Amino acid sequence: MKKKILFVCLGNICRSPSAEAVMKEYISINQLESAMVCDSAGTSGWHIGDLADNRMRKHAAKRNYKLESIARQFDPEKDFDAFDLIIGMDAQNLIDLRALARNKTDLQKLKLMTNYCTRHSNYDSVPDPYYGGDEGFELVLDILEDACEGLLKELQ
């Protein structure tokens, strides 16, 4: 069975679409398309229909990641059933997702992205880059590359 992974942040325009793009690149490099699939969503509906943030896309493009996803809001009625792993970027994302869980099965699908890191083990969240500068967007990508490597290893 294909593992279905959903990355979740607040707006679905910075961190989770980047996580999706990094993971899709790793899936492609490792020819794992038949084993896993991923998507992303936001806990808020603030940016529904938007492309990822221009700054995030610019920094991601420098590392050859294409951010093509369109922002959508997490839908508890569909997404808890459609995905095996639902991975929040920070503690507040997980608080918000937990509040939407319908049962124990839903709760067991919820994970924290930084728990998959091996090199950035001093971070307990992927910091929200929205109100910061260039270095915040680079840090997001550094942490996500580390976490996606760990996630890939765990799933294989």
User: What residues line the site for ligand 4NP (CB under 6 A)?
Assistant: 9-15, 46, 128, 130
Residues noted as catalytic: 9, 15, 128
Instruction: Between 68 and 81, name the residue whose CB sits nearer to ligand 4NP.
Output: 68
Instruction: Between 3 and 136, name the residue whose CB sits nearer to ligand 4NP.
Output: 136
φ, ψ at 124 (rounded to 5°): -105, 10
- Chain position carrying tokens 């995905």: 83
Instruction: Between 24 and 32, name the residue whose CB sits nearer to ligand 4NP.
Output: 24
Least distance in Å: CB of 139 to ligand 4NP?
12
DSSP for the chain, written as a single string: --EEEEEEESSSSSHHHHHHHHHHHHHHHTT-TTTEEEEEEESS-TTTTPBPPHHHHHHHHHTT-----B--B--HHHHHHH-SEEEESSHHHHHHHHHH--SHHHHHTEEEGGGG-SS-TT-SS----TTS-HHHHHHHHHHHHHHHHHHHHHH-
Residue nearest to ligand 4NP as judged by C-beta position: 11
Least distance in Å: CB of 78 to ligand 4NP?
20
Instruction: Between 45 and 156, name the residue whose CB sits nearer to ligand 4NP.
Output: 45
Specify the length of the chain in residues: 156
Tokens of 74: 């997490």
Least distance in Å: CB of 112 to ligand 4NP?
15
